[in-house]
Amino acid sequence: YPSKILTTGQIPNNVLNRYGSFPDNVLQTGCALRHKYIFDILSNHGYSNKSTGKIAFSFSFDVSRYNYIIDKIVSIFGGKDIEVILKFHPLNKGFQPDKSGIPGNITNKTNLSWEEIMVQTDLLLYEGNSVCIDALVYNIPAVYFPFTGDIYDTNQLYNYEWDIDAGDEEATYYEKV
């Protein structure tokens, strides 16, 4: 090990300590870093009380999970009076889901930029990526979608207290959010 590992803020330090195995005093907390483009657009987006009736879902790079997640989204939101915008990871832009079981209120908008999507949505659901940081810049709540069972739960970066109770149906949980 190196004599010191500097983390980008206290939260990554906590995550590394929780899941890693480092000698005492190796991990040190440094300053949190953010992408410059976030600071460039931050001043242009104040709190908005918009209600568009649209939710966006941001997929990770792991295409093997896509159909499972799409099935979950269809079971929760299919046929409801809300549009769910799907955006696949840039590495998988060409992915085409089986459209036979997907209702019209769930659409693939991978061709749109995140900026175009953020200005028209009320909520971001995400899994295994950092688009949630962009959503927070646009004052859009970001909710981690934990149904793949991945240990890479980025929700721990924000210390959200939201969780699905064992007795709650998934649809009920997302309706509450």
**pLDDT tens track for 82-91:** 999 999 888 8
Q: Please say whether the beta carbons of 138 and 45 come within 8 A.
A: yes
- Residue burial 66-84, b: 16+ Cβ < 10 Å; e: rest: beebbbbbbebbbeeebbb
What is the distance between the alpha carbons of residues 118 and 42, in angstroms, rounded to a whole number? 13
- Amino acid making up residue 34: R
Q: What is the mean pLDDT of residues 1-5?
A: 79
Q: Please say whether the beta carbons of 60 and 89 come within 8 A.
A: yes
Q: Please say whether the beta carbons of 134 and 51 come within 8 A.
A: no
What is the per-residue pLDDT for 35? 55
Instruction: Kindly report the pTM of this predicted structure.
Output: 0.62
Structure tokens at 94: 């060409």
pLDDT tens string 8-37: 767 778 888 888 888 888 888 776 555 555
What is the per-residue pLDDT for 56? 95
Q: Which of 87-96, 101-110, 113-122 has the lowest mean pLDDT?
A: 87-96
What is the per-residue pLDDT for 99? 72
What is the per-residue pLDDT for 117? 93
- For residue 167, pLDDT over 60 is answered with no
What single DSSP character describes residue 96?
-
Nearest to 73 by CA among 6, 148, 132, 155: 148
Q: What is the mean pLDDT of residues 160-165?
A: 47
